[in-house]
Amino acid sequence: MDKKSKKKILITGGAGYIGSHVNKMLSEEGYETVVLDNLSKGHKEFIKWGVFEKADLANMAEVEAVFKKYDIGAVIHFAAFIEVGESVKDPELFYKNNLKNTVNLLEICRKFKVNKFIFSSTAAVYGMPEYTPIDESHPKSPISPYGRAKLMVEEILKDYSDAYSFEYVALRYFNASGASMDLDIGEWHEPESHLIPLVFDAVSGKRESIKIFGTDYDTDDGTCVRDYIHVLDLAKAHVLALKYLEKGGKSDCFNLGNGKGYSVRQVIDMVKKVTRKDFSVVEADRRPGDPSVLIASSKKIIKKLSWKPIYGLRQIVESAWKWYRKKEKLT
């Protein structure tokens, strides 16, 4: 097949953190990509592979123009707002952007007969864990509009798959972290709400201290335990999911986590080891709605797609710290 007749992979939200890493990995694997992003949250500096089309999923004419311009073979859908707290304060924003705009995209996929779809979902679909590690059959009881919108999209995808010639993979992320090893791209949220970059802010003096919210949880050191997964391991899962659909794989949902938990205190201690710097740590009261432990069971994707997480906490923190220092020079 010559290059011109090769179908392209459309990556919505491809200028964002995870989307850009998936774009890079797909390009390295020989795929031709089209990044669709409105740059409201993403960074144009991260679009280093494929072609870029600035468009907004709320504007169906803009998106249809992209589908007309390129022969799209599959869609990987990242474009969404991610701040859980913000979703509680302004649910309308999240239901419009994360739910309604996804339905717009699906309508266009059907119109142009694009029937392979990979969805960026979240562990937030589960809500408060009834048991850990959390597997895919765990009850779905999201406690935020963010989690509810993601679960609604999963239900819509299932309905589409049952009714139409349409196959999808929904990937439920736990705590994405780390950066590209060559430091091309990395984590860059504005404002930043993820633990590891916030700890780096304390290392660099951008903030006076880092707060630990709750030290009386039922864990080994009393602080919350979370499942941190390197963004490169996440990206690899998307590549494998795409190949699975290309080979005729049926619609499915998979957890994406390391299967290991690290406490807030362990993460802070690892940052101190990697950076060789000390900083102020303040113990504060628990935040409402924070479960003690959130750990994924990724047995299903390991078995079905032969995916395997490679990177542990040290590699996550090391790559993230190198990227953080580079980003500080960029901004």
pLDDT (tens digit, 9 = 90+) per residue, 319-329?
Answer: 999 999 999 88
Contact of 223 with 10, CB cutoff 8 Å: no
- Residue 4 is predicted with a pLDDT of 42
Q: Which two tokens stand for residue 282?
A: 């303040």
Identity of the residue numbered 284: A
Q: Count other C-beta atoms under 10 Å from residue 194's C-beta.
A: 16
CB contact at 8 A, 154 and 119: yes
Neighbour tally for 203: CB within 10 Å: 20
| Predicted confidence band of residue 192 (pLDDT cuts 50, 70, 90) | confident
**Cα-to-chain-centroid distance, residue 127:** 17
- The residue-averaged pLDDT of 124-153 equals 96
Mean per-residue pLDDT for 231-241? Answer: 98
pLDDT at 3 over 90: no
Q: How many helices (H) and strands (E) does the chain have?
A: 11, 14
Would you place residue 134 in the very low, low, confident or very high pLDDT band (cuts 50, 70, 90)? Answer: very high
Note the pLDDT of residue 328: 87
Residue 331 scores a pLDDT above 80: no
**Mean pLDDT score of the chain, rounded to an integer?**
95
| 52-56, 83-87, 113-117, 231-235: least confidently modelled range | 83-87
d(CA 81, CA 202): 26
Report how far apart, in Å, the C-alpha atoms of 56 and of each of 40, 46, 102 are: 9, 18, 11
Please report, for residues 47, 155, 181, 226, 227, the alpha-carbon distance to residue 230 in angstroms, rounded to integers and kept in the order given: 20, 27, 11, 13, 10
Rounded to the nearest 5 percent, the helix, strand and coil shares of the chain are 40, 20, 40
- pLDDT attached to residue 77: 98
pLDDT classification of 1: cutoffs 50, 70, 90: very low
Q: Do residues 283 and 212 lie in contact, with contact meaning Cβ atoms separated by under 8 Å?
A: yes
Token pair for 63: 């998106």
CA–CA gap between residue 162 and residue 217 (Å, rounded): 42
pLDDT > 90? residue 190: no
What pTM, to 2 d.p., does this model score? 0.95
Q: Please identify which of the residues 146, 160, 262, 324 carries the catalytic annotation.
A: 146
Structure confidence at residue 289 (pLDDT) = 79
With tokens 């999911």, the residue in question is: 241
Give the pLDDT confidence score for residue 2 in this predicted structure.
Answer: 39
Predicted confidence (pLDDT) at residue 271 exceeds the cutoff of 60 = yes
Q: Is 168 one of the catalytic residues? A: no
| Complete edge-to-edge strand list for the sheet that includes strand 116-122 | 51-54, 33-37, 8-12, 72-77, 116-122, 167-173, 252-256
- Residue 262's DSSP bridge partners are 226
Distance between CA atoms of residues 73 and 49, nearest Å: 17
Mean predicted confidence (pLDDT) in 242-271: 97
List residues bridging with 254 in a β-sheet: 171
Going along the chain from its start, the domains and CATH numbers come out as 7-177+228-256 (3.40.50.720), 195-226+259-296+310-330 (3.90.25.10)
Is residue 11 very low, low, confident or very high in pLDDT (cuts 50, 70, 90)? very high
Mind listing the pLDDT tens digit for each residue in 288-316?
A: 878 899 999 999 999 999 999 999 999 99
Spatial CA neighbour of 289 closest among 156, 167, 129:
129
Residue length of the chain: 331
| Alpha-carbon gap, residue 63 to 53, rounded angstroms | 9
| pLDDT tens-digit map of 63-115 | 999 999 999 999 999 999 998 889 999 999 999 999 999 999 999 999 999 99
Whether the predicted pLDDT of 217 surpasses 50: yes
Measured between alpha carbons, how far is 291 from 279 in angstroms, rounded to an integer? 26
